[in-house]
Structure 1
Amino acid sequence: MFGPNWFASVMGTGIVATAAATLPVQFPGLHTFATAMWLLAATLLVAVITATVRRGTSHLDDPVLMQFWGAPPMALMTVGAGTLLLGPGSFAVAADLVLWTAGTLLGLIVAVAVPYRMMTRPTLAAAPDAAFGGWLMPVVSPMVSAATGALLVPHVPFGRDLLLACYALAGISLFAAVIVISQIWARLVRHQVGAARMVPTLWIVLGPLGQSVTAFHLLGRSAEGVLPDPYATGAQMVALLYGVPTLGFALFWAALATAITVRTVREDLPFTLTWWSFTFPVGTVVTATGGLATRTGSPVLTALAVVLFAVLVSAWAVVATRTARSNLWRPERRDREPQRLLVELPR
């Protein structure tokens, strides 16, 4: 069976391409690497969509897997952003516009439908210790729309309306994410870490943090020449005054998540598809740091962006290898073992 969580592999691969293309320090071979990763992400997107149509299931009665319906719209927009940054000419704009529109509409549906289903279905009532990083998946998609939509603003005739829409999308995601992150913090403090297979989802918290910093940076840049002063200037101020503190909290959370992950690895961290949580969320912190480095000219932020990019590439290599080994090299076991909670794959 195929579930929506498989789209996380597209997100994780696509963000490597985007991070490479926007890294504040460019070096020989980086553009070629970014292009190769974008093409791989696009290929994965087609493959996962095809597999989902042929043998996918909705998992709408699974309180955990249901959350991962936030992944398909983000996968579409991640590949779209890579197309705009790395693809050829006018085709790139048209393709990105189609993918962004589809991803945004689907993301808005998911952002409303999944919480609504949780609130109105008694069978999906959450236990006091149920909050986990996956709860952010449905609501972070509009923030991805804001960040990737900002890239489209200079290329479309309705740039001002698109810019304002992106700010509204950022607001949807930002306030919802604050609510969910608060619940995750409370769960960790009151009920501790919980099952080992849930630990990678702690990294999803970095997603709305890093993506929001990236979004406000790109929106601020796109506001120039689109919004009149003082609003264009204000957009630049927001990008910095919001971005730096939020990046600080993201690094703080990354330290906590690293400590918990290392502790769990020492005890036993089983491989599941949630390991892809080590990629996309980290990638958003890379793009956030790179954006702030470009905006401020800070050598410290530039060096940090490069270090985080190296961490991202390393994490992607490990997770992609484990995914391939568990699903491509041992297909006979994969066919016999159905997907269960968080898709615990054969080891």
Structure 2
Amino acid sequence: MLTTTVDADTPARRSPVLAHLTPNWFAVVMGTGIIAVGAASLPVDLPGRDSIARGFWVLATAAMLLLSVAFAVHWVRYREQALGYARSPAMAPFYGALPMAVLTVGAGTAAVGTEIFGPSAIVVAAILWALGTVAGVAAAITVPPRMLSGGAPSPVWLMPVVPPMVSAATGAALIPHLPEGQARLAMLLGCYALFAMALTAAVVTMVVVIGHLARTGLPAVQAIPTVWIPLGVIGQSIAAANLLGRVSDTAVGPGAATGLRAFGVVYGTAVAGVGVLVLGYACLLTGRAVSRGLRFSMSWWSFTFPLGACAIGAGALGIATDSVAVQWFSVALLALLLGIWAVVATRTAHGVWTRALLTPTP
């Protein structure tokens, strides 16, 4: 690892953390912001849900602003280290966390910000969606070749290909705010294209990862939290299919809208079965890892966003099918997420306070 000589006259140059700031820190924004989006979209009106949504949206927005400034300083003042991380096959996949963080905060802005800032919040949400989508598509195209240049396939490889699916899911909320006619149609078609792009890339990636794991065995104990990452694309794809179907009648005719809603229900029901299976495996493997000495690391944030995505997907499917059981399942997932987030956020705060998380991994 290259080092940089720094001056002691400025806080930024005194702090070695800025020399080793890696993109996986944006998972904090993802895992926090998904709670805001999940609470705002709950199909069951529970006491305190609005306060939870607003509180976590504020936390996620603050975290994104802080990390964005720190990341900019990292690239300006410690460019060699930044380029080293970007070129690393092991670290490159985490650059998918940046656009997903932006998209998650943008979705929270659309869902919660209007209560605080009024219609201008939709404008901000649209800008964040556009920025996150462009960055996410760029990551999905440019990062996979970097991963293939070295390093073993792992569930982390999904990180750069999931952002377009997040764009598809979060873009649905913006469609009714666009001018009627071609603008709404273009957005709807664009979101379905993003859906197809991400789904194709995710399936191909998982085939490669599963093939590697079949030959070499499960990841090391400390990497087990990453097996939760596939739940992110599962949950987001269910949400995207049903949320886009729900708003499709604002952009296409009744016949096409009925077909798109039906597609969302059929796709969501089928993939939900896969999701339950993956969730069961993830819980089993995590429990075994804990018994074998799993230690806290930033990889624990892998528990949060994927679980939140599943909660949102279950909620969207529950509304589409009018299934009370599925709607309450989404509530249960969000409640579980809140508990997990409390543990992971507390451990992260302690690691920052003690500077244990602010030094490079050997």
Same fold by TM-score greater than 0.5: yes
The 3-state SS of whatever aligns with 2:45 is coil
Deviation at 1:3, TM superposition (A): 1.1
Q: Which runs of 4+ in 1 moved over 4 A?
A: none
1:164-179 aligned at under 5 Å gives the runs 164-179=189-204
Aligned length: 330
Relative to structure 2, which stretch is displaced further, 25-34 or 142-151?
25-34
Secondary structure in 2 matching 1:159 = helix
- Name the structure 2 match of 1:139: 161
Residue of 120, 137, 153 corresponding to 1:91: 120
Task: Tell me, yes or no, if the aligned pair for 1:197 and 1:269 is still in contact at 8 Å.
Answer: yes
Q: Which amino acid aligns with 2:278?
A: W
Is 1:23 the counterpart of 2:45? The answer is no
Deviation at 1:303, TM superposition (A): 2.1
Change (3 A) 1:50 1:339: farther
Q: Taking structure 1 as reference, are residues 112 and 308 closer, same or farther at Cα in structure 2, changes over 3 Å only?
A: same
Residue among 324, 332, 338 paired with 1:299: 324
1:334: Cα distance to partner?
Answer: 4.8
For residue 95 of structure 1, what is the amino acid of its counterpart?
V
Query: In structure 1, what is the Cα distance between the partners aligned to 2:103 and 2:138?
Result: 15
What stretches of structure 2 of length at least 5 have no aligned partner?
1-19, 76-81
**Which residue pairs with 1:50 in the alignment?**
69
- Which residue identity does 2:142 align to in structure 1? A
Structure of larger gyration radius:
2
Equivalent positions of 1:141-156 (< 5 A) are: 141-156=163-178
Query: Matches of 1:296 and 1:205 in 2, distance apart?
Result: 24
2:32 corresponds in structure 1 to 13
Deviation at 1:205, TM superposition (A): 0.5
What is the root-mean-square deviation in Å for CA atoms of aligned residues?
A: 1.3
1:229 Cα deviation after fit: 3.7
2:100 paired with 1:74: yes
**Structure-to-structure mapping, 1:1-347, within 5 angstroms:** 1-56=20-75, 57-58=82-83, 59-88=85-114, 89-119=118-148, 124-126=149-151, 130-157=152-179, 158-327=183-352, 329-331=353-355, 333-334=356-357, 337-339=359-361
2-structure distance, mates of 1:257, 1:184: 15
Q: CA deviation at 1:193?
A: 1.3
1:126-178 CA-to-partner distances (Å, cap 9, x unmatched) read 4xxx2111100110000001011111000112111011000000111001101
Identity of aligned residues (%): 41
Deviation at 1:32, TM superposition (A): 0.8
> 1:140·1:208 contact (CA, 8 Å) conserved in 2?
yes
For residue 230 of structure 1, give the secondary structure of its aligned residue in structure 2.
helix
Indicate the SS of the match to 1:319: helix
SS of the residue corresponding to residue 87 of structure 1 reads helix
Please state whether the residue corresponding to 1:338 is helix, strand or coil.
Answer: coil
State the TM-score, normalized to the length of structure 2.
0.88
In terms of mean alpha carbon deviation, does 53-62 or 38-47 score higher? 53-62
Q: Report if the CA contact (8 A) 2:242-2:264 is conserved.
A: yes
